[in-house]
Amino acid sequence: MGEGLDLDILIVEDEPAILSSLEFILRHAGWSIDSTTDGEAALNAVRQLRPKAVVLDVMLPKKSGFEVLKELRTDADTRDLPILILTAKGQKQDLRTAAELGATSFVSKPYANSEVVDAVRDLLAGIGNIDAAAT
């Protein structure tokens, strides 16, 4: 984990192949990036690095993406942090849970790189997509 005081995106993803692609495409799009691979480390990283947005996988070791999301939403400091959830199962229930817990946006795997880049761009501009999709 790096020391980014002006960090744009924190990626939380435990699959190394997906993580390296995500790091590449988001960095290539011009954002500063850092990453972690489990839920507990993600919570520490958010508090320490204070990213502008988080790209968060659901299936993570130690703490699931949903647990991380819930904890971030109950903390006054991170209540409004833009969070994009990566759902692997593509199930409506996951989407509903993510929306109920306060995720800002979502992208379903398998995705096109441009979908992630567009969603992150919207996320940083304060535009989410999850409420319409989850209903």
Partner 1 sequence: MRAPIGLRIRNFRKAKGLSQSGLAKSVGISPAYLNLIEANKRDVGGTLVQKLAGELQVDLHELTGETEQRLISELQEAFSDPILESLKLDTAVAHSAVATIPEIARALHLSYRAYLEAAASANAYSHRLKSDPLFSELLHQMLSRITAVRSAAEILEDVPDVDERSRQTFFATITRESRDLSDSARALIGEFDREVQSHRSVTPAREINDLLIEERNYFPSLEQAAQDMLGEMTGGTPPSVEKLTEVLATEFDVSVEYGGPVPASALPNRRFGFDPQTRRQWFRAGSAVASVRFQLARRYVALRAESLIADLANDPRLTSPRARELAVQALTANLAGAVLFPYQQFYEEAESCQYDLDFLAQRYSASFEQVAHRLVTLRKPGAEGIPFGFLRADPAGYLSKQFPLPGLVMPNAGHACPLWALYGAFQNAHSISRQTVSFSDGSRYLFIAKAAAKRVSAYAEQPVVSSVMLACDLLHADRMIYAQGLDLGNTDADVPVGPSCRLCVRHSCAHRQEPVAANIVG
The minimum distance between CB 5 and partner 1, in angstroms, equals 26
Q: Does 25 bind partner 1 (CB under 8 A)?
A: yes
Instruction: For CA atoms 65, 18, 87, 102, give the dihedral sign.
Output: positive
Figure out which of the listed residues 21, 32, 48, 129 binds partner 1, where binding follows CB under 8 A. 21
Number of neighbours of residue 7 by Cβ within 10 angstroms: 20
Q: Does 32 bind partner 1 (CB under 8 A)?
A: no
Figure out which of the listed residues 89, 121, 127, 131 binds partner 1, where binding follows CB under 8 A. 89
Give, in order, the Cα–Cα distances in Å from 71 to each of 6, 20, 28, 101, 132.
23, 26, 30, 9, 23
Candidate segments 46-54, 60-68, 75-83, 126-134, binder of partner 1 by CB under 8 A: 60-68
Which CB, 64 or 129, lies closer to partner 1? 64
The minimum distance between CB 25 and partner 1, in angstroms, equals 6
Candidate segments 1-9, 11-19, 47-55, 123-131, binder of partner 1 by CB under 8 A: 11-19
Where are any strands of DSSP class E within the chain?
9-12, 33-36, 53-57, 83-87, 105-108
At residue 95, what is the residue type? L
Subset of residues 67 to 86 that bind partner 1, contact rule: CB under 8 A = 67, 70-71
Residue 91, Ramachandran bin (φ over 0: left; ψ between -120 and 50: alpha; else beta): beta
Q: Which two tokens stand for residue 89?
A: 């199962």
Q: Does 52 bind partner 1 (CB under 8 A)?
A: no
